[in-house]
Structure 1
Amino acid sequence: MRPLSEKCVTFFDFLRFGLAQVVLIGHGIGMFYNYWGGFFPERIPYLQQIAVVGFFFVSGFLICRSVMTNFKYKGGDATHYFVDRFARIYTTLIPSLLFVLVADLLFSCAYPEAALLTYVSAKNFIYNLGLIPSMPLGTLRPIWSLMFEWWIYILFGGLVFFRKRWFLCLICIWMGAKYTFTVNAQGEAGHLEVIWFAGALGAFWFDRLTQRTEISRLSWPAFIGAVAIYLYTKNSYHLVAGLLMTLGLVLLAARLNSDEEAVSQVKKQRYAALAGFSFTLFMTHYTVLYWIQQALGSTTIGFLSSILLANLLAFALAYCTERHHKTVAVLLLELVRRRRWRLSQP
């Protein structure tokens, strides 16, 4: 398995940043210009929901590549996988939960009748912290997708590492399958797990696709087909459209991966920095939009200021939290290894 080219890595960094901005702007347009149930989705499907489909592809693709690297260089270390996933999610989830809780409680003093305050409770906080499918805490509306994605991680890890840690993985498979197929897939978003596993399958075949440059040219017909279905059905979670978009993104990435042209250090750092706060932005943006809309009303000034503030706050929060997820993973792995060593001593 060859490493992703610099162009391909930069592409995925830009894609993560771009998808987060689409979610932010889509929610902002709907909230500030009263487009819910009208312009969205009667004329065009919800753009932010299509972006979520894109996030599931990116997640499946990158995690599968990470697992393939794990097997190649670490022999298939289940502990490394689960600790890495835990660190990646919770270095953003915990700060985001606390940010939303504090913001909702502070603004509740000025706007006690705000509808979403109904969901600010200790029960929702605990369930959201455990990523158990439940009502989001207050204005933390986007967490539903993380609840979906988290249990796919658990299921995937159980399937991949079953022969390494069979008892633990059996539990992961049972819990992951229960929440993925029995609970989450029954919601409005449908079978996003199919998109996730399609991304993972694309990662598995990616090196072969990179060598077949003539196939990669089919990315644009795939994109056109996806757009046509989205516009015709007005269904942001249409499975066939989502799979066509996934195919197009995989083929486009393969085409970029076949290009060995170097990317400037400045450009790499810029896009890596932009992607570095996309997860935090995804988790916290709705809170910023919601309370600015309450304060300033449905105005263009409110819309523009909320877009800017959401990005600035997410960047500041991620700078202290999300960007350190790899360091947290290393520390947790070291703690696990020390614990095992102590238990092995007579």
Structure 2
Amino acid sequence: MFFDFARGISAQAVVLGHALNIFLPGIFMVPGHRVFYMQSFAVIIFFVLSGYLITSAVLKKRDRPDFTFNSYLLDRVARVVYPLFPALALIIACDFLVFRGTTRLPFDGVDLSPQAVAGAFTMLFNHPILQELAPRLGTPWINAGPVGSGAPLWSVVAEWWIYVAFGVLAFVAFRKMKPGVGNALLLVFAIAVPVGYMAKGSYESLAWIIGMLYALAAGRVAKLPRSFHAWLVILGTAAFLVGLYYNRVNLHSASTIIPASVAFCHLYFLVDGIAAERSADGLSRSTFKDRSGRAFRAFSLFLSSYSYSLYLLHFSVVSYLWYFLHGTLPAWQLIALSILASNVVAFGFYLLVEKHFHRVGAWLKKVLLRPPAPVGGATTAAARNQDLEDAKH
């Protein structure tokens, strides 16, 4: 529930943050001013959540004979790439209809060139290796940037390559997988993305690594006293605020990302420990608390369910509202309309596309993977249910 709420609220913060940037640029986009960009903070939360949840899922399934690197990768394709590609197609089509041939934009430009489209669908835009090779080989077309109004999708692509790198390393460590030349090259190509971003001053991948480390140590960390977690939340928050002050509110720096990630992880263990203790003591059985708890869980699950769709599409929706209504409605109305319209569009996209990712994953495995040899019987229904639960992350 904690993670669902954090993911859902973070997605809403991204929408609000980008709406403030676009509709109130005189406040939120002034060069040199110290501005707290809530969308950048939300991305930190997304990365640490992802690192924790993906690592936890791998640890749960690592001893299953049907859990291979290929099945892991197909799970990630179904969860990340399958919703991404239809969203990209929708963004490109709408951008072409709305922005084609115009210079009236709320941002620098809209790149709908063939190389930008190809870079988006191959998950290769902003890739550090291609950025380095392009001028040396005299092939600038291989260095693609984000396509159209899909600029925020850089984080999705970055996480995709982190998933790939983590998968190779995890299966080498846990399942003694022989890397081979192909997997070694894949690892180098994948790990170049987070390393390249860090070389340019964007350390979001550290949040992913911290989430991973806490997942690996979760059994031991969860046994620590609640007071220890509370103190780490306080100290981590204080260090985060100090980092913000001395780095001019730079939410991409290691000095802000590391303490924020540590504080978030200990907040999870603190809240989870309190909830477990109350449940054991029977304190959550009163009618009011029980109903309010169920309502909060349902609300958190609802917000979280379509948070990925919201992240994929919101910036384009906000940009279109700016294009058609800028100068017609006041900024506060446009911001409210952006939040409403983004959520409606994203929830519709979730129902039509993202919601079916588990079926897509099962189909991909059926078509592309050989069935595992039975070990003590066929794969159980419980194992299949665990696949679906883990795939949500």
TM-score by length of 2: 0.77
For residue 166 of structure 2, the aligned residue among 153, 156, 161 is 156
**SS of residue in 2 equivalent to 1:135:** coil
- Aligned: 1:276 with 2:305: yes
Distance 1:41 1:281 in 2: 30
Partner of 2:147: 137
One-letter code aligned to 2:157: M
Partner of 2:348: 316
**SS of residue in 1 equivalent to 2:222:** helix
Partner of 1:102: 93
- The answer as to whether partners of 1:78 and 1:157 remain within 8 angstroms in 2 is yes
Partner of 2:186: 172
Partner of 2:216: 204
**SS of residue in 2 equivalent to 1:43:** coil
- Aligned: 1:230 with 2:248: no
Which 4+ runs in 1 deviate beyond 6 A?
A: none
Structure 2, unaligned stretches of length 5 or more? 127-143, 285-289, 374-393
Partner of 2:338: 306
Show CA shifts across 1:261-308 (max 9, x none).
377555433322211111111111111111111211162222211111
Percent identity of the aligned residues? 22
- Aligned: 1:297 with 2:340: no
One-letter code aligned to 1:57: V
Q: CA deviation at 1:257?
A: 2.6
- The answer as to whether partners of 2:161 and 2:193 remain within 8 angstroms in 1 is yes
Distance 1:312 1:152 in 2: 30
Distance 2:49 2:74 in 1: 20
Q: CA deviation at 1:227?
A: 2.5
Structure 1, unaligned stretches of length 5 or more? 1-9, 342-346
Q: CA-atom RMSD, angstroms?
A: 2.4
Structure exhibiting the larger radius of gyration computed from Cα positions: 2
For residue 257 of structure 1, the aligned residue among 256, 272, 283 is 272
Q: CA deviation at 1:70?
A: 1.7
- The answer as to whether partners of 1:198 and 1:246 remain within 8 angstroms in 2 is yes
Distance 2:113 2:372 in 1: 38
**SS of residue in 1 equivalent to 2:79:** helix
Q: Output aligned runs, 1:66-85, within 5 Å.
A: 66-74=57-65, 77-85=68-76
CA 1:75–1:248: 2 relative to 1, 3 Å = farther
Distance 2:63 2:295 in 1: 30
- The answer as to whether partners of 2:50 and 2:211 remain within 8 angstroms in 1 is yes
Distance 1:278 1:65 in 2: 20
CA 1:116–1:229: 2 relative to 1, 3 Å = closer
Show CA shifts across 1:34-68 (max 9, x none).
13442x76233322112111211111111111111
- The answer as to whether partners of 1:116 and 1:139 remain within 8 angstroms in 2 is no
Distance 2:109 2:365 in 1: 38
- Aligned: 1:20 with 2:34: no
TM-score by length of 1: 0.87
